Amino acid sequence: KQILIGGIVVAVGAAGFWLWSRSSQIKEEKASAAFQSAEATFMSGNKFLAQAELEKITTRYKGTTAGTQAAMLTAQVMFEQGKHAEGLAQLEAVAGSAPKALRAGIQALIGSGLETSGKPAEAAAAFARAATEAGFGVDQDMHRMEQARNLMVANDAAGAAKIYAEISSREDSPFAGEAKVRLGEASAKP
């Protein structure tokens, strides 16, 4: 009797897990289809209509890949319109629930938004988070170069020089040459 009850519990648990995973898969598929439609509208040049569609996708499909991509594209449109605070708020709202593969991109976009709104120290911190989230060394170095560039603008030449020195010391980095040049600039800056 106990074996039968145990078997039923395991079967119900397995069925529940299957239903949950299937539901997540369907949600991802619907989000992806909606995002493709909104992206096509955006690419056709109708950014205002696309923005409305993208905001709906962001809200309805939060936590999905397409929902996060919609938030990122919405933020870019807002940045182009000069609405930096709104775009940054959009990105901050999805940063915590974003799929791991998109987290570095979100942080880099936050860094770009902060940079264009005249906050280089905060932008440098966002690029540092992007480098931490990046999965590949080349992406990490790219974000760290952006971090260092923003540190220079924020008058932290020593912090920038430290990053440039680390990247320039690795010949396997595609940014090593640029980092050597920038290290000279950072070292010459009083």
Residue 21 pLDDT level (bands cut at 50, 70, 90): confident
Residues 57, 67: contact at Cβ < 8 Å? yes
Q: When comparing pLDDT for 187 and 146, which is higher?
A: 146
Q: Is the confidence at residue 160, as pLDDT, over 70?
A: yes
Residue 85 pLDDT level (bands cut at 50, 70, 90): very high
Mapped onto helix, strand or coil, the DSSP state of residue 98 is: coil
Q: Is the confidence at residue 91, as pLDDT, over 90?
A: yes
Task: Residue 63: name the closest of 24, 99, 113 by CA.
Answer: 99
Residues 97, 62: contact at Cβ < 8 Å? yes
Q: Residue 52: what pLDDT?
A: 86
Other residues' Cβ atoms within 10 Å of the Cβ of residue 168: 19
Q: Residue 47: what pLDDT?
A: 81
Most confident residue range from 10-19, 26-35, 138-147: 138-147
pLDDT per residue as tens digits for the range 46-77 = 888 888 888 899 888 888 889 999 999 999 88
Q: When comparing pLDDT for 180 and 11, which is higher?
A: 180
Q: Residue 42: what pLDDT?
A: 84
Residue 170 pLDDT level (bands cut at 50, 70, 90): very high
Task: Residue 140: name the closest of 117, 163, 158 by CA.
Answer: 163
* Rounded-to-integer distance, Cα 127 and Cα 28, Å: 28
For residues 164-189, give the mean pLDDT.
Answer: 90
Q: Residue 190: what pLDDT?
A: 61
- For the chain, the average pLDDT equals 89
Q: Residue 98: what pLDDT?
A: 87
